[in-house]
Amino acid sequence: MKTFLEKFSEADAIVIGAGAGLSTVAGFTYAKERFARYFSDFEHKYGFHDMYSGGFYPYRSPEEHWAYWSRYIYINRYMDAPNPTYRILFDLVKDKNYFVITTNVDHQFQKAGFDKNRLFYTQGDYGLFQCSTPCHEQTYDNEMIIQKMVEAQGYTITEDKELVLPEGTMPKMSVPSSLVPHCPRCGKWMSMNLRADRTLVEDEGWNEAAQRYDAFLKQHRNSRIVFIELGVGMNTPGIIKYPFWRMTAQNPGSFYACVNAGEAFCPEEIADRSLCLNKDINEVLRQMKEHTEKEKKE
């Protein structure tokens, strides 16, 4: 940990690679209590036990499909994270030369204060619709229609952005047909801007972010750069994990840190310039914050 803090403090540039594990420790869990709180009706009717499985279920109608997905999107995109994980991370890097690449689609980096010009969301955004075909390369903000969908199911949105049902009631499991989103050009159903298959729309904003990320890496390829990997598993290692390993191997002045409880590891080729912490991300970030605050006081 001491070595990590020294490298972090001395770095010319910091690249954060964030996976699903980061949002999980921030409180965006997809099963158990949180799933039961918002989807017990769907669980009872269809028998799945987590949000992820429900996202792939072949619902009987688009009205039911969007009843499920509007709740899913709202609680994972427009509600605030239960834990301050992202805000602590931002406090650690806000005065540093950083860039973030993430496979997460919940927008929590921007909500925590990160500069949107230093973010690359590779896998899409819960807050965007696209044509399901797609017939054109454009995305559309969905916040207003998502709110209308959840309200049509009987929910009230509080000032704290929580979803509340009147006591003793159950939500409707469908939305009005008038709220089912259709493509403004071809008329087909809209879908989420998520990389679930080959139809993801990589719009102008996506491509500009990709170019900024590539430029940042090229600018600092021979610098003292620290790659910090947070909660990245092996589902899509080619996006963050493998490139971080490769770039660390290519630059003798770089350092690689992997924080992921139970899944922190690296290849032998970069082991002498790596730190693998099989610890809870929140714990590590809190330790880093305590250390930096102590240094400022001294």
What are the structure tokens assigned to 150, written together? 């959840």
Q: pLDDT truncated to tens, each residue of the chain (298 aa)?
A: 888 899 999 999 999 999 999 999 999 999 999 999 999 999 999 999 999 999 999 999 999 999 999 999 999 999 999 999 999 999 999 999 999 999 999 999 999 999 999 999 999 999 999 999 999 999 999 999 999 999 999 999 999 999 999 999 999 999 999 999 999 999 999 999 999 889 999 999 999 999 999 999 999 999 999 999 999 999 999 999 999 999 999 999 999 999 999 899 999 999 999 999 999 999 999 999 998 888 777 7
Q: Would you say residue 89 lies in a domain?
A: yes
Q: What is the DSSP string of 63-74?
A: HHHHHHHHHHHI
Prediction pTM value: 0.95
Confirm whether 152 is domain-assigned. Answer: no
Q: Residue 229: inside a domain, yes or no?
A: yes
* Structural domain total, the chain: 1
**Cβ neighbours of residue 146 closer than 8 Å, sequence gap 6 or more:** 70, 73, 74, 77, 78
Identify the burial level of 46 via C-beta atoms within 10 angstroms of its C-beta, where 0-12 means exposed, 13-18 middle and 19 or more buried.
middle
Residue 98 belongs to domain with CATH number: 3.40.50.1220
Residue 195 lies in a domain: no
Identity of residue 67: A
Residue the block writes with tokens 């009147």: 166
Residue 7 placed within a domain: yes
Q: Does the residue 188 lie in any domain?
A: no
Phi-psi group of 123: left, alpha or beta (phi > 0 → left; psi -120 to 50 → alpha; rest → beta): alpha
Would 236 be classed as within a structural domain?
A: yes
What is the reported pLDDT for 10?
Answer: 94
Q: Give the domain extent around 286.
A: 1-28+81-123+203-298
Residue 278, domain member (yes or no):
yes
Q: Rounded to the nearest 5°, which phi and psi values hold at 72?
A: -55, -50
Residues 6+ apart with CB under 8 A from 190: 129, 130, 131, 132, 140, 181, 182, 183
